[in-house]
Amino acid sequence: MNESTAMNIEQIKEYLPHRYPFLLIDRVLECQPPTRIVAIKNVSINEEFFTGHFPHYHVMPGVLVVEGMAQAAAILSFKTLDVRPDKKSVYYFAGIDSARFKRPVVPGDQIRYEVVAGRSIRGIAKFSGIARVDDLVVAEAELLCAYRQVK
């Protein structure tokens, strides 16, 4: 498969089992299986995590920024494999390396996730991810994800 496709939220929900409040991708701007994906998340003050993180200065938790990268990686993997998740399979977040958080993400920001696929062996794939707001890097990480059948 060597196509570049944008995806709206309904199409994204076909490839990710996550739902509100844990669906962290709002739109895919481009998906070029098997190599890269660019997706966005619009950060709203209405996000549930802002009620407690932090009430006096709203900052999106860094782990959720990295989770958004992993969700983008999952879409890229499913599109590459030409499969959709079902109740018999799961795409686990298996590891994070070299995670760096450069600046806070706050309400009103639009995060642009840029994820590039690396090596894949026996259902475990490595990805490089960068999250940007207004062309400034807010986070970056190396991600390991595993596609597994569940019982």
Catalytic residues: 53
DSSP bridge pairs for 101? 139
Full DSSP string of the chain: ------B-HHHHHHH----TTS----EEEEEETTTEEEEEEE--TT-GGGGTS-TTS----HHHHHHHHHHHHHHHHHHHHT----TTEEEEEEEEEEEEE-S---TT-EEEEEEEEEEEETTEEEEEEEEEETTEEEEEEEEEEEEEE--
Q: How many residues comprise the chain? A: 151
Token pair, residue 95, equals 């590891």
| d(C-alpha 54, C-alpha 68), whole Å | 20
